Structure 1
Amino acid sequence: MKGVPRAYALALCGCCAGLVCGSVLAGVQAQAAAGAEPVAPPMPAAPPALLAPAPADAAQRARVEALRAAASAVPTPGRTPAPLMKTPAQRDAAWLLGLLALHGLGMPPDAPQAQHWFERAQALGHSLAPAGLAWCALQGCGTGQPNPVLARPWLEPLRRADPGRAQFLEWLVEQQLAPLGALGAPPGPAPVVVPHAAGPAHALSAATDARTLLRAAAQSGNAQALNELGLELLAAGRLHEALAQFNAAAPRSDAARANAQLLGQRLQASTAAAAGPARHTAHDWLLQAQSYHRGDGVPANYSEAVRLYQIAASAGDATARRMLQLIFSRAAPGGQIDVAWMQQLATAELAATTGPAAAPATLPRWQRDPTPLWDLVPLEWRSTAQGVVAAPAMAR
């Protein structure tokens, strides 16, 4: 994913299989101590494929052509030409075309075209156009080279129109500019859950840390920020708090709504299991998770191991929480469990070799919206998309 090559290297590189187990565990613990976030790395600047759009039908193509005509309208012949006609219809058409080109809706994804229309929308006076231009700077729409510094000038005008989105984009800028290993601490004890409906937000000082920016964006009601905090809490095994974050974002985020549904189902299953005749302690759940992880007395089943680790972590087991952080610090492409990584972790815990390699197991597809602008796409266009981005596959 463009924009964060250092972090891509972190997520995609791994310890070689030949390393001794002590080196594996020490390296991962050092990563955790450096502050690297598990499971829920920040939204990257440019997914290689934002989503899988459905093929545009004739009606959609006609609507796109009508939008292009409206956005590109020229003065009537015979009248004094104006440098740029500024009408609400032109302004809104240019903005919508930028969103459609960015997300590949009604047309193939086209980042340079998206930037062109965002620039026109800005010239025509659309108050949210700075959001598109800031994201294009983070993504590198026009050049293919992300440049977070160029996003900064657009944040101040955006703050007047949409302070929460401006704070979330500022958080993304800081994530790209921050040195590797200095990207923040694990989620604190009192996360933001319900956004405030308070008055104007003010620019935060440059010294404000990234986590404060993310929390401020969530307090302002930004759905992507709320979803990010939910993913971080999920990684830490704080499942009920994560669910509250997802539910707060769900009305404005397709991804958060899907995450809330999936996590709610898992919590219900865990509650039913814990309410059975043989009530388990947190340590009991940990022992079961380790058995499935190692294939100790049962066939190795990494999906079941992850589920049981999450139950143990939510019940307060620190060892399970640490193991979840290690597991989710590296996921295979497509949201799958990295089998080799799971084997290395089991080896490191046992100081012995693991059993036969298990078949790849599919992780639950915890999700992010394709971009921080996704909720601004009209629902009639969003409904034509065939998916959202799987969070575990993304790298910081």
Structure 2
Amino acid sequence: MRKDSIGIGVHPGHVVLCLCASVLLVAAVRFSHAAVRAIPGSPIQSPGTSSVQPSAVQPAGIASPTAIQPAGASVTPPAIKPTGQPGASAPKLMPPDENDTDAERIRKLEATALANAKRGSAAERLAARTSWLLGLLYLHGEHTQVDRAQARKWFERARTLNEPLANAGLAWCEIDGCNGPPTPRAARPYLASLKAANPGLALFLDWEIQQRMAPVQAGANSPQTSNHLSTQNMQLLRQAAQAGNTSAINELGLNNVAELHYDLALQQFTKASDRSPAAASNARLLRVRMEQSHQADAGKSASDRAENWYLQARRYHRGDGVPSNYTEAIRLYQLAAAAGHQASRRMLELIYSRPAPGGSVNIAWMRQLASMDVTAEGAILSFSAPPTPLLFVRDLTPLYEFIPQEWRTDRSLGQR
């Protein structure tokens, strides 16, 4: 080759390499075509069919992933309840410190009740419940002097903080009077909100309202004191008792004692005794009375039975250890008089000597005769000793059962 000519020089080794590469490329293409022809094609499915061969071939390198399970999860976890919603646990109230004075205990409660807590938080619920407790303590004189105005103030704060039972405290303040004379009718608006939280208490307070607003009934067929239950309100009282209200159950027991249904009364007192000191006291007293009555009737002569009827009549006439019941008193006087008891005859003569207009029993005259002694012969009547305190009792208010046991001193017994 001449050095001055224009062209491209090709080395013989390069030509050989190019030819070898071309041969290898052609061979690879032919092998791939043969492999494609060797794989049988899957049958074409018509649209809408869902038949799947059990051994369907999956594309190379693609596998169906298994469902991912959370680590350690073997059961479905319980649903999380939002804070402050129904179902959240009630806040635990502060117990009284045995080393504190009553004044220190009240101060600690007031500090908790007045805490500036976030709306809807557990701290706010605790402040609401503590305010409710303070209202109860001031209302009943537990660890402090009775102060109804303070009680109402704390009930109002508890209601502001969404404590549902606070409506019961405010309703009772209207029924019984916390800042002035009682206004039972004004208590009704609080009962609608209370009914959802405690239907039994709402029903009993409704019964209390009707009792306070009802006129005193007195007639020939049923001379009664205000302790006797109106038949118009009995259904409401029974509904409250069926809903589990302790005061309603105790009230039914008192009514059954007045009507001499001692077995039923004992069942009701016993049922309410766990939450009501009054019901527990009534159950103990009634058991003693029933045992004494059985012993007194055994082996008695006719004159002894007449004397026993007279003594029972005096108890019902005077309200001595039992609720006053003039109807029962007159019935027992008549039994004793029929058996020849002279004092019973004189009492009946006096009762009917001053009838009310229309010929019915004169309730005012019955009250006067209750304090007179007719056992002595002659026309002069002497005043007898006043009756013993009423031993069948009620709790001071129907709210007493809501005071936690550790905050009670069991002094809240009395008459309403």
Q: TM-score range by the shorter chain?
A: 0.5 to 0.7
1:341 aligns with 2:378: no
Give the superposition deviation at 1:360.
Answer: 3.0
Q: Distance in 2 between matches of 1:305 and 1:67?
A: 41
Question: In the comparison of the two structures, how many residue pairs are matched?
Answer: 282
Q: Distance in 1 between matches of 2:393 and 2:313?
A: 24
Q: Superposition pairs for residues 159-170 of structure 1, below 5 Å?
A: 159-170=195-206
Q: Deviations over 1:52-101 (max 9, x none)?
A: xxxx99433222111111111236xxxxx989997122111111111111
Give the superposition deviation at 1:341.
Answer: 3.4
Q: Distance in 2 between matches of 1:345 and 1:117?
A: 50
1:179 aligns with 2:202: no
Asked whether the 8 Å contact 1:100–1:114 carries over to 2, the reply is yes
Give the superposition deviation at 1:351.
Answer: 12
- Residue in 2 that maps onto 1:373: 399
The residue type equivalent to 1:131 in the other structure is A
The residue type equivalent to 1:388 in the other structure is L
- Picking from 168, 178, 197, the partner of 1:131 is 168
- Residue in 1 that maps onto 2:257: 234
Give the superposition deviation at 1:273.
Answer: 2.4
370 and 364 in structure 1: CA distance in 2 versus 1, 3 angstrom threshold? closer
Q: Distance in 1 between matches of 2:374 and 2:204?
A: 37
Asked whether the 8 Å contact 2:175–2:187 carries over to 1, the reply is yes
305 and 278 in structure 1: CA distance in 2 versus 1, 3 angstrom threshold? farther
Q: Distance in 1 between matches of 2:133 and 2:394?
A: 21
The residue type equivalent to 1:213 in the other structure is L
The residue type equivalent to 2:258 in the other structure is A
Percent same amino acid among aligned pairs? 37
Give the superposition deviation at 1:182.
Answer: 8.6
Q: Secondary structure at the match of 1:272?
A: helix
Q: Distance in 1 between matches of 2:110 and 2:124?
A: 14
Q: Secondary structure at the match of 2:293?
A: helix
- Residue in 2 that maps onto 1:63: 105
Q: Secondary structure at the match of 1:125?
A: coil
- Residue in 2 that maps onto 1:225: 248
- Picking from 248, 268, 271, the partner of 2:291 is 268
Asked whether the 8 Å contact 1:71–1:90 carries over to 2, the reply is yes
- Picking from 384, 389, 393, the partner of 1:358 is 384
Q: Deviations over 1:237-258 (max 9, x none)?
A: 2222222221121122100110
Give the superposition deviation at 1:285.
Answer: 3.2
Give the superposition deviation at 1:181.
Answer: 2.1
Q: How large is the RMSD of aligned CA atoms in angstroms?
A: 4.4
Q: Distance in 2 between matches of 1:83 and 1:242?
A: 44
Q: Secondary structure at the match of 2:101?
A: helix
Q: Deviations over 1:370-393 (max 9, x none)?
A: 1010000111221x243510x4xx
- Residue in 2 that maps onto 1:99: 136
Superposition TM-score, scaled by structure 2 size = 0.57
Give the superposition deviation at 1:274.
Answer: 2.3
Give the superposition deviation at 1:236.
Answer: 2.2
Q: Superposition pairs for residues 195-206 of structure 1, below 5 Å?
A: none
The residue type equivalent to 1:178 in the other structure is A
360 and 169 in structure 1: CA distance in 2 versus 1, 3 angstrom threshold? same
Q: Distance in 2 between matches of 1:139 and 1:305?
A: 25
Of 58-67 and 372-381, the range deviating more from structure 2: 58-67
305 and 367 in structure 1: CA distance in 2 versus 1, 3 angstrom threshold? closer
305 and 122 in structure 1: CA distance in 2 versus 1, 3 angstrom threshold? closer
Superposition TM-score, scaled by structure 1 size = 0.60
* Structure with larger Rg: 2
The residue type equivalent to 2:396 in the other structure is P
